[in-house]
Structure 1
């Protein structure tokens, strides 16, 4: 088992990787002007390239988890880091849109390997505070999306080649890999404290083919709600409202700041005020309300409000709370829950870049309308699950 100092060092390395991971997820769209010029394509072509991320995510999430349990966490963290390096360096020399698509797949591959290695490693490093260690991942992911727009703005202002940023990200990964090399990871058989694994709160039998399927679908809808804003709010603000390129990209910084704050608010609310089953209904409804206001008031001020509001409601851990609900309903299928929900979550990174760009070109309001429909779908699915949840679980015991 890793000693306490080693555990903190491993966690620090993992969190640093998540900053780079979140940058990689949106870097194609943030540097879309430079990348589209290099690939001799338009915004739809860049959307096609970005959709490669989702393919890498969904194809390797299952196998990554299985192999991580067999061969340990460290190799898969390194495979994730290597995948990002392949993208960051490879894209600098790429002039073909289809090759760029393949390189984008490596972002998704890196995401899958990093998740399947890092998430278990954190709980094994801190078995008595696994929940806290895991929820902090979300805040470091938000830090990356907060930092990147400032980097893009700086590069645009001084007319610096975007490749230097990609080389910088690569150097961060290399330094982190060297730092992590001597660290000894805890045993993969480490027991997580507080994981009772009992089912004494059941008063009925859950149906995996009904509420189970609905929760899996929510893996897609809860992710797609914030993916549309994360990747396309700058385009909506620039093309539909007339904001300049730099101001529109900085909206993502406001979104990310709100999402960081939301992680801690949501953690407190779930612990002290509301059960997760209520949150997976309320948060999508709040997102829908914000999107309705945005749809009927396309102004720079409302763009800022939408960025902050969606950061607070859509990016504050709705997917993670949906996963908690599924694990409450199906405690003997925790691995299945993670694999299926995160696979559907990954599919949103494929579907959204293929649909939204075409809508945004026709009318940016259509992109907002799609996001509204997705958010409302999450709320409706959550309500149906809630009706079943009350019938099979004693609410006073969870």
Structure 2
């Protein structure tokens, strides 16, 4: 595939992730208008937001298998259309149950985009799959970075939020028209730093990977790594308001600190995995750093530490660790790239369902319990990654990846 063509496809995919990240947090960020529109509470909005995770769970695995069979493009386009319907639908929806179904539709769109986009990036750039995959987080972070500023503008100037949602939908439609005529690379392309487009799936293997060991542990990391950043991404403002009595607008700005840390991390990690460390090493180091940060935050909850934790957790938990774990999964099981995305992101979707339902209940008892839950998720990621690393060295020649 020509480099310019591959870059055009990648650019369109990265642009999608700006809107995808906005969709994940948009319900909670616009709580000041949506609670009135749906005649519900913050907890009710949390249940609506959990519909995104439900949609991912329902459609991710099947979408991944079909992506391997029928190609990446149809699922990316379907995913984009689902987001258009989600944003337009929310504007006119007044029923909490219908809003939940719209969130499920957004989750289905999330599944389509992920199972198409993640594999096609490694197929466009097989020699730099780690960097190409981790850059997704940069665009995810851009979306979650700018949204709080948009929300503040809408809140301060009493702008009708529907114009913002319509703008998101139009953005996605324009990107669909751009991507529609593009032809995609072969699904047979395998991640390799040596031979671009190589189709010899076993070239770097010195043993046989076990789906029952490293496969299952990496799938579980889809849940634990996602839960680690979901707590901060969706609930850090509420934690700050209840733990240190932070003002509403100041608490919402914590998401921008989180996103800034993630953006810095993504570009740092993209360079690091290309020059110094391998993805398998990074998926140990990043959750370990998250664990240390959360322990420090538990010992000292102040407004400054809320900002520090939001920024540093953005760097360590949201800086691409899930994407790097997926690269490891694709390295171990190269003939099932779409399926690997599907099964890992199904567990990631489960984290988006479980966390919004568990964290509020823990926070009502004691805000610290929500952070302890996050710490447990980070520590489990470290344990799983260490076991995978011990297996990885036995089945793959580290000099060839």
**Normalization by structure 2: what TM-score?**
0.90
Aligned CA-pair RMSD: 2.4
Q: Decide whether aligned partners of structure 1 residues 130 and 289 sit closer, same or farther in structure 2, where only a CA change above 3 A counts.
A: closer
> Which of the numbers 182, 185, 192 marks the counterpart of 1:184?
182
Matched-pair contact (CA < 8 Å) for 1:199–1:331: no
Structure 2 match to 1:61:
60
Map of 2:193 onto structure 1: none
Aligned pair in 2 of structure 1 residues 254, 199: CA closer, same or farther (>3 Å)? same
- 8 Å contact kept, 1:18–1:140: yes
When structure 1 is superposed on structure 2, of 359-368 and 52-61 the one drifting more is 359-368
Q: Deviations over 1:174-203 (max 9, x none)?
A: 23233334x33235457451545225542x
Q: Note if 1:87 corresponds to 2:90.
A: no
Q: Which residue in 2 is equivalent to 1:152?
A: 151
Alignment-derived partner of residue 357 in structure 2: 354
Cα deviation 1:203-251 (Å, max 9, x = unaligned): x544322232222111110111011111111111122211111111111
Out of 181, 186, 202, the residue aligned to residue 198 of structure 1 is 202
Would you say the 8 A contact 2:133–2:324 is kept in 1? no
In 1, distance between residues paired with 2:352 and 2:10?
27
How many residue pairs were aligned? 395
Moved more, 273-282 or 312-321: 273-282
TM-score of the aligned structures, taking structure 1 as reference length: 0.91
Structure 1 residue 369 displacement after superposition: 1.0
Deviation for aligned residue 1:331: 4.4
Instruction: Give distance in 2, aligned partners of 1:386 and 1:71.
Output: 32
Using the TM superposition, name which of 235-244 and 334-343 deviates more. 334-343
CA distance in 2 between counterparts of 1:334 and 1:125 reads 13
Q: CA deviation at 1:162?
A: 1.9
Residue by residue over 1:116-161, the C-alpha shift from the partner in whole angstroms, topping out at 9 and shown as x without a partner, is 3333444455566555443322211111011101100111111222
Displacement of 1:73 in angstroms is 3.5
Alpha carbons of structure 1 residues 78 and 126: separation in structure 2 relative to 1, 3 Å: same
Check the 8 A contact 1:222/1:378 in 2, yes or no.
yes
C-alpha separation between the residues in 1 aligned to 2:331 and 2:126?
A: 19
Q: Supply the distance in 2 between the matched residues of 1:6 and 1:25 (Cα, whole angstroms).
A: 29
What is the CA–CA distance in structure 1 between the aligned matches of 2:221 and 2:110, rounded to whole Å? 20
State the match for 1:342 in structure 2.
345
How far has the Cα of 1:261 moved from its partner?
Answer: 1.3
Residue of structure 2 equivalent to 1:140: 139
Contact 2:130–2:273 (Cα < 8 Å) also in 1? no
Q: Structure 1 32/206 Cα, relative in aligned 2: closer, same or farther at 3 Å?
A: same
Query: How many angstroms apart in 2 are the aligned matches of 1:309 and 1:315?
Result: 9
Instruction: Give the distance between the partners of 2:109 and 2:15, measured in 1 at CA.
Output: 14
1:36 aligns with 2:39: no
User: Is the 8 Å Cα contact of residues 64 and 343 (structure 2) preserved in structure 1?
Assistant: no
Cα distance in structure 2, aligned partners of 1:30 and 1:69: 35
User: Helix, strand or coil for the counterpart of 1:248?
Assistant: helix
* Farther-moved stretch of structure 1 (189-198 vs 360-369): 189-198
Note if contact 1:13-1:180 (Cα within 8 Å) is conserved in structure 2.
Answer: yes
Question: What is the CA-CA distance between 1:16 and the residue it aligns to?
Answer: 1.7
Q: Is the 8 A contact 1:360 1:367 kept in 2?
A: yes
Partner secondary structure for residue 198 of structure 1:
coil
Q: Quote how far apart the aligned CAs of 1:72 are.
A: 4.1
1:15 matched to 2:14: yes
Q: Which residue of 2 aligns with 1:101?
A: 100
Q: In structure 1, how many angstroms separate the alpha carbons of the residues matched to 2:210 and 2:129? A: 28
Give the match for residue 384 of structure 2: 381
Q: Is the 8 A contact 1:239 1:364 kept in 2?
A: yes
Q: What does residue 296 of structure 2 align with?
A: 293
- The alpha-carbon distance between structure 1 residues 197 and 6, as it changes in their structure 2 partners (threshold 3 A), is closer
Q: Deviations over 1:310-366 (max 9, x none)?
A: 011111121122223334444455444322212111111111111112222332211
Aligned pairs (5 A) from 1:152-231 = 152-181=151-180, 183-188=181-186, 191=189, 193=196, 195=198, 196-202=200-206, 204-231=207-234
Structure-1 residue corresponding to 2:251: 248
In 2, distance between residues paired with 1:93 and 1:169? 15
- Paired with 1:383 and 1:166, the residues of 2 have a C-alpha distance of 42
Corresponding residue of 1:48: 47
**Cα 1:9/1:336, change in 2 over 3 Å:** closer
Give 1:111 deviation, angstroms.
0.8
Deviations 1:362-395 (A, max 9, x none): 3221111110111111112222333334444555
179 and 59 in structure 1: CA distance in 2 versus 1, 3 angstrom threshold: same
Cα contact 1:121–1:185 (8 A) shared by 2: no
